[in-house]
Amino acid sequence: MRVCSLFSGIGGIDLGFQQAGFDIVWANEFDKDAATTYRHNFSGEHLVEKDIRKVGASEIPDFDVLVAGFPCQPFSIMGLRKGFNDPRGNLFFEIARIAEAKKPKVIFLENVANLLEHDDGKSFLTVYNALAPQGYSFRYQLMDSIEYGNVPQHRTRIFIVAFQDEGACERFKFPDKLKLTVKLNDILVRSVKHDKSYYYDESSVYYKDLIRIVTDKNALYKIYDSGVSRKPHYISPTLTANMGTYPDRVPIILDDYGIRKITPYECLALQGFPKDYRFPKIPIESAYKQCGNSVVVPVIRRIAENIMKVMTNG
């Protein structure tokens, strides 16, 4: 089953579909650093680093499934929530354009949970109205990664699966919930000393609050606009892209050597990426941004497996 991936980022959706047995035949990413990371971990020949608005449908090989985690900032409760009035929100219509030209059997979309309620539901209706006239039937569900991905990170996203075949849509089911068995300390290694740049010291304006509040080696903490979280987190809050813009938004832990930010690789692990997934030589700010912009891979894999069942079993 052939997949075309739009807004591929570092390939979290692609990886989940690949793990489920799909073949990624074409992918697109405009961000240079994200494309560099993608190529470092995939064969790379199928990735086109180009503005999707300048890609003609004829340039894309035939495929069965279109996947896209289209830009979520226009719909996020953390952003300005301009929706389709934001140029990034309008990029969704590139998905509709390519779908209309290539007519894939399935379309898989991922976005922030707020897409469902944004603008009193009009944004979600816009997505529906762009694809339903093309003959697609919809299923959608809000899913938190602690319930469906067995990773200790709260990350609620909306997943939309649209089928050309109405019968296939009726047969498709989202995966059942899982028991959370993976804990923070299964991912965050506190016995290894990292580079000093990760550790807080007296030069930080937060240091006095950190040494007073960050005391639990089983927990994770975060700095918010109001200051250091008084309540320890035993499940990670949602990792956000602004970790790469505001360094103090990177979650914090107490390890055997001091109080530090979690590393980009620990962020990847909280997103369910395999241990052999690696960053190339890119700025650390880009690595954090890429982690926050990505997806929880096991959740994607489980949905993709159910799509595969419907497509292959008839």
DSSP, collapsed to helix, strand or coil, labels residue 191 as: coil
What are the beta bridge partners of residue 23?
A: 2
Closest CA to 36 of 60, 8, 14, 17: 8
What's the rounded Cα separation, in Å, for the pair 136 and 153? 32
Tell me which of 72, 169, 267, 291 is the catalytic residue: 72
72 labelled catalytic: yes
Structure tokens at 213: 């509040």
The residue type at 229: S
Structure tokens at 186: 């299964």
What's the rounded Cα separation, in Å, for the pair 81 and 302? 30
Structure tokens at 118: 């944004």
Cα distances (Å, whole numbers) of residue 256 to 171, 182, 199, 236: 51, 21, 11, 20
Q: How many CB atoms lie within 10 A of CB 128?
A: 16
Q: At residue 55, what are phi and psi to the nearest 5 degrees?
A: -100, 120
Q: At residue 65, what are phi and psi to the nearest 5 degrees?
A: -130, 130
Closest CA to 305 of 22, 15, 108: 22
Closest CA to 303 of 109, 124, 73: 109
Q: Are 255 and 173 in contact (CB under 8 A)?
A: no
Positions marked active-site:
72
